[in-house]
Structure 1
Amino acid sequence: MVEYDKQRKVDFVSGLTGSSVSDINRVSLALPLAIFLWSVLQSRLRVFSPYTPVALLVDVLLNCGVVLFAITIYASSSWLFNLLLALPAIVVLITSPSSSHRQHVSKPPSSRNSKDAPSDPLPVKPFVTHYRASMMVITCVAILAVDFRVFPRRFAKVENWGTSLMDMGVGSFVYTAGVVSVRSLLKTRSGQRPPLSARMVQSIRHSIPLLILGIIRLLSVKGLDYAEHVTEYGVHWNFFFTLGFLPPFVALFQSAFDYVPSYAVLSCAVAIIYQTTLDSTNLKAYILTAPRTGLLSQNREGVFSFVGYLAIFLAGQSLGTLTLPRQEPLPKDTPVTEVIRKSTLGRLVISACCWSFLSYIAISYHGLGLSVSRRLANLPYVLWVASYNSAQIAACCAIERFCFPKLYSARTHEEEIERSREATSPVLAAFNRNGLAVFLVANLLTGLVNLTIPTLDTTALQSMGVLVGYISIVSAVALGLDKLDLSIKL
């Protein structure tokens, strides 16, 4: 095992001021552009049907390799990299006619098939899969890439105030969990929600595996004397504890939903109350400067930032209520304003605009002038995460509508499933299916690499070699679990 200076590693990723929001947006644009290129290749050229080894390689390069290169060697040339992704898609669009009409031509439904017409109120939506999985991929890549010098320091987590790519990654992980968590709630009819006691029991069952993972991570980090930055979550707290405590608190807020029937309003209310408490009491100073003398003070970042992450989770649930339900067919003569208001894409665009406006008001000099702090998970951080993710999922929805316009017009349930499968990247579907398990594997591999390789002393070529091998292994694990038809729910 290669020895390295633990304090040197901690200093390498601490005390940073981050990067601008526009810089993060430019780099992050590679994610929807990669999905767009994949969708164009599939809808126009059928590159991924059948799914040959070459198609698998292209799929991994587009949806994993692009992310890796975007946040490392091309981070300073993001516009060039984005152009390199957009140009092939444009060329294919110009030179290849749409094949969607040939893909989905089917025989007139028989009386038996007509009874099987799609009726699932919560259909599988490829753009949601692409959005969630792309967030998981960039998170998995960043947690190891940050330990190498090829990863720009401005993208690493900031110390107290500012924005960075990794700060967004943490919030996005919670946000995406909120988006899909609302599926079980949408399946229940109004007025038939289980009682609080039943919801608490179910939520605790979901929490126990995550809390166990948190304890295992705590023991392994302390036992191996692994480099850690205590101002991230505290001395003992870690991200798995944050994820583990979310389900019970979300179950409690489902009762509040009876009085405030809007997850977006609940999210804003929680964030505003928390921000008011930070500004009107000594809580902010306590979190940032208090000595670590007791259990609470030692873990104050994790304990109090949990309130902000709860608001982010609720914001994700708000978007989930707009995204997951089936869109009802709209008459051809429907006014444009009604189409925007009632269509899934229109609602997502409106949501993204609203969250972005609120974020601007909170952060702008002409608004409240508040500073983003991932360490506090304050109001500006909550609104920034919500605006970023709502824009990302709206972009994924727009790509799907453009490339696969007839996706949800299938005549039978089986046909709809087949169309959805063809419009979904198998690599991203695999990441989405076992997201938390893949994230756990990525964490284990990250620890293994850091304990065996002096990451700070590797050259750019060596760093990229390790990172390519790492994301290849993570992708292989995700694809292997999917191939074995295993869904590991934690």
Structure 2
Amino acid sequence: MDQTYKARKEAFVSNLSGGDITEINSVTLVASTAVLLWSALQSRISFFTPYSAPALVVDFLLNVGAILFSFTVYSSSSVLLNILLASPAILLLLSSPKKAQKAKPPRSASRKNDTSKRASSDLDPFPVHPFLTTYRAAMMIATCVGILAVDFRVFPRRFAKVENWGTSLMDLGVGSFVFSAGVVSARSVLRERSRATLPRRLIASIRHSIPLFVLGFIRLLSVKGLDYAEHVTEYGVHWNFFFTLALLPPFVEIFHSLTAVLPWYELLALIIAVAYQVALESTDLKGYILVSPRGPDLLSKNREGVFSFIGYLAIFLAGRATGIRIIPRGTGLSKTPQQARRSVLVSLALQAAVWSGLFFFNSTYAFGYGAGIPVSRRLANMPYVLWITAFNNAQLFVFCLIETVFFPSAHQATDKEDESEQVSFATSRVMAAFNKNGLAVFLVANLLTGAVNLGVKTLDAKTPQAMAVLIAYAAVVTGVAMGLDWSGIKLKL
């Protein structure tokens, strides 16, 4: 790569201070309003059933295109984009009756009683939730869009990763990726696979981490070998996000053993975040990470990645805490599906409120009672952990509320066949595809991002050219996700 251009690219993503959280919330809300419109079209007129070519195009435009446009050309008009998406959804909700589902053939009374008893016991206690699929897919789509869009001028600098202190859209995406992984990891805990001994769990987690370590080394070698522009203060000289993801499983298993004494993952996450923040404030650790010279040793060269891992571990555990509360079916002799869903909504609302309150008091002076600690993604400090956790619980609440309003049958099914049909009806094909092979799609997006940057001078691209490249890139990534889904392929990395 031309050294002058490389220096320009590195300067383009360096020394940034981020933007306002209110604007970040407005921009990310576009994903929810797009799902709102998708849900209105599906529940009221079954627009995406059968799944025709026009349905695929609209699905892509709503769930991928809307996010892309909110990050770029609509970045300063996100409120307008939200209104444009929400207005037709509200009109459909008010003017059109809910689309009736096909009735099943009647059963005889005795067969019906036997079947209902068997069905209630056969239902998976930890079902697939459309709102959780949608949440994870939206996060993945936003991440894939952001990693390339950030290299173009059409992507505002206030959305790019901050240097030391502040909040930005890209900083939110990195933490949300880890939180999302923590949410789905709760499923294995709920299925009681964790009864195995710690050494056995560690061996299993290390096996899971090996592919991520390999990807991390491949990225490291490719960046160094191709002389690719890099932002060293992001993770360090050699560290990258794949190494952070690879180290999470074994460390999570170690901390999982502490649940025998502290059964609440939220408390574990808080203890880690508080202990790390105390170390930052009461020792020379903060100065060492931020301003000390990079010595010859590996720790000094990669100190951002090594120490920020502590914050990401807390975020992962906070995500697992949320997953444990929302994944179980929650029904029983004394609780109906409607009551169970209300419990999930209340739980998510309370968690979002509590974490938001903790973030408010931790990151501001809050009428003289707050700590006033600025957010730092580079440190992954306590305010950062609280911000990521509060935001993602709020996101889950919104997606869960949309599903509950438009697709109540998805959580009220009485047998496996009916539940599978209702879940499929309530889930976007594009979202399901991104969720199914999330990490593999993320890897493809990283490879395409590198290819585009090597072939296109992104800094010099005008808005029309940048948007053409980004739309084509988003379409290819979506095509890969859909292709893997339609082929029945599920890659576990």
- TM-score, length-scaled by structure 1: 0.96
Among candidates 385, 392, 395, match of residue 395 of structure 2? 392
* C-alpha distance in 1 between matches for 2:45 and 2:335: 29
* C-alpha distance in 2 between matches for 1:4 and 1:133: 38
Cα offset, 1:193, TM superposition: 1.1
| Pairing of 1:182-331 with structure 2 (within 5 A) | 182-188=186-192, 193-293=195-295, 294-328=297-331
Among candidates 147, 150, 164, match of residue 151 of structure 2? 147
Among candidates 414, 420, 426, match of residue 429 of structure 2? 426
* C-alpha distance in 2 between matches for 1:126 and 1:414: 16
Among candidates 100, 124, 127, match of residue 128 of structure 2? 124
- Which residue is equivalent to 2:101? 103
* C-alpha distance in 2 between matches for 1:183 and 1:332: 21
- Which secondary structure does the structure 1 equivalent of 2:210 belong to? helix
- Which residue is equivalent to 2:138? 134
Cα offset, 1:208, TM superposition: 0.3
Q: Does the 8 A contact of 1:34 with 1:63 survive in 2?
A: yes
Deviates more, 1:323-332 or 1:390-399: 323-332
Cα offset, 1:408, TM superposition: 2.0
Q: CA 1:205 to 1:166, structure 2 compared with 1: closer, same or farther past 3 Å?
A: same
Q: CA 1:88 to 1:261, structure 2 compared with 1: closer, same or farther past 3 Å?
A: same
The reply to whether residue 442 of structure 1 matches residue 445 of structure 2 is yes
Name the aligned partner's letter for residue 389 of structure 1. Answer: N
Among candidates 156, 172, 178, match of residue 174 of structure 1? 178
Q: CA 1:273 to 1:39, structure 2 compared with 1: closer, same or farther past 3 Å?
A: same
- Which residue is equivalent to 1:74? 74
Cα offset, 1:35, TM superposition: 0.8
Cα offset, 1:344, TM superposition: 1.1
Identical columns (%): 57
Deviates more, 1:212-221 or 1:409-418: 409-418
* C-alpha distance in 1 between matches for 2:11 and 2:83: 35
- Which secondary structure does the structure 1 equivalent of 2:272 belong to? helix
Q: Does the 8 A contact of 1:33 with 1:85 survive in 2?
A: yes
| Pairing of 1:445-456 with structure 2 (within 5 A) | 445-456=448-459
Deviates more, 1:363-372 or 1:200-209: 363-372
* C-alpha distance in 1 between matches for 2:167 and 2:75: 16
Name the aligned partner's letter for residue 67 of structure 1. Answer: I
* C-alpha distance in 2 between matches for 1:329 and 1:149: 54
Cα offset, 1:107, TM superposition: 4.0
Which 5+ residue runs of structure 2 have no aligned equivalent?
none
* C-alpha distance in 1 between matches for 2:417 and 2:12: 53
- Which secondary structure does the structure 2 equivalent of 1:407 belong to? helix
Cα offset, 1:210, TM superposition: 0.1
Q: In angstroms, what is the RMSD of aligned CA positions?
A: 1.9
Please list the CA deviations of residues 357-383 of structure 1 after superposition, one character each: whole Å capped at 9, or x if unmatched: 111111122211010000000000000
The reply to whether residue 25 of structure 1 matches residue 25 of structure 2 is yes
- Which secondary structure does the structure 2 equivalent of 1:312 belong to? helix
- Which secondary structure does the structure 1 equivalent of 2:411 belong to? coil
Cα offset, 1:333, TM superposition: 11
- Which residue is equivalent to 1:65? 65
Q: CA 1:436 to 1:4, structure 2 compared with 1: closer, same or farther past 3 Å?
A: farther
- Which residue is equivalent to 1:350? 350
- Which residue is equivalent to 1:479? 482
* C-alpha distance in 1 between matches for 2:298 and 2:361: 36
The reply to whether residue 6 of structure 1 matches residue 6 of structure 2 is yes
The reply to whether residue 460 of structure 1 matches residue 458 of structure 2 is no
Q: CA 1:304 to 1:330, structure 2 compared with 1: closer, same or farther past 3 Å?
A: same
- Which residue is equivalent to 1:49? 49
What number of residue pairs does the alignment pair up? 483
- Which residue is equivalent to 2:169? 165
* C-alpha distance in 1 between matches for 2:4 and 2:448: 17
Q: Does the 8 A contact of 1:2 with 1:452 survive in 2?
A: no
Q: Does the 8 A contact of 1:330 with 1:339 survive in 2?
A: no
Cα offset, 1:466, TM superposition: 0.1
Please list the CA deviations of residues 12-69 of structure 1 after superposition, one character each: whole Å capped at 9, or x if unmatched: 0110110011010011110111111111110111000000011011000000000000
* C-alpha distance in 1 between matches for 2:425 and 2:305: 41
* C-alpha distance in 2 between matches for 1:306 and 1:332: 40
Cα offset, 1:342, TM superposition: 6.5
* C-alpha distance in 2 between matches for 1:285 and 1:305: 14
* C-alpha distance in 2 between matches for 1:358 and 1:108: 53
Q: Does the 8 A contact of 2:331 with 2:340 survive in 1?
A: no
Cα offset, 1:83, TM superposition: 0.4
* C-alpha distance in 1 between matches for 2:25 and 2:332: 33
